[in-house]
Amino acid sequence: KLQKSRRILKEEVTAEDIAEVVARWTGIPLTKMLEEDRAKLQRMEEELKKRVIGQDEAIIRVCDVIRRSRAGIGDPNRPNGSFIFLGPTGVGKTELTKTLAQFIFNDDNALIRVDMSEYMEKHSISKLIGSPPGYVGYDEAGQLTESVRHRPFSVILFDEIEKAHPEVFNMLLQVIDEGRLTDGKGRVVNFKNTIIILTSNIGSQFIADFLINLTKKIIAI
């Protein structure tokens, strides 16, 4: 009888589980909370465009991906969205990332920023996930995995991805493809409730050259 009455505990907490708990605390019906979330997603473009100027097409594409993910379309084990923003400094890559984090999670602290220029060496991967047993720094938690363990609902910005060591980049591909990482202590960290954004200035010179050539043609005409 004891076993029959014992509730089965879930290993993972979903957004609906959290909404249900909050609904109990506030007295607001769960259906109303979920309806408000859907309405909020519908006005994403409008809100993002208020702070990010000149990137309408990028905003539309980002919003479409996130809405599809929230609707359950796609692989549920992968992050809610994975994007790469390319272009020269000043076009709004970081600002769009910050605005997205604040809008989706209602918290400026929901942005986890990782400067990839700090991970140019192969061994630097241990700084992200922690060192394995027997290695120096084993007692120190990984900067990335520990941040996500404490804040699983977040936007993760990998800034200047072209500067990362190939091994570090391969690790990020695992996050994007499988939605999880195992840290140095053997704990599996789930990334499926995160939004992954990679930024890079690579190609900025190509864009600059293209604009210069285009200007020359316009002047010639």
User: pLDDT by residue (tens digit) across 48-60?
Assistant: 999 999 899 999 9
Confidence at residue 5, expressed as pLDDT on a 0 to 100 scale: 46
Confidence at residue 88, expressed as pLDDT on a 0 to 100 scale: 82
Domains of the chain: 77-220 (3.40.50.300)
Q: What is the mean pLDDT of residues 9-19?
A: 66
Highest mean pLDDT among 17-31, 135-149, 173-187: 173-187
Confidence at residue 117, expressed as pLDDT on a 0 to 100 scale: 93
DSSP state of 74: S
pLDDT at 33 over 60: no
Residues 6+ away with beta carbon under 8 Å from 169:
161
Q: Is residue 157 a contact partner of residue 197, using CB atoms and an 8 Å limit?
A: yes
Angle between helices 30-42 and 44-51 (to 10 degrees): 50
Residues 6+ away with beta carbon under 8 Å from 43:
none
Residue 100: band (very low, low, confident or very high) from pLDDT cuts 50, 70, 90: very high
State the pairing for strand pair 111-115/155-159.
parallel
Cα–Cα separations (whole angstroms), residue 74 to 53, 67, 119, 191: 29, 11, 31, 15
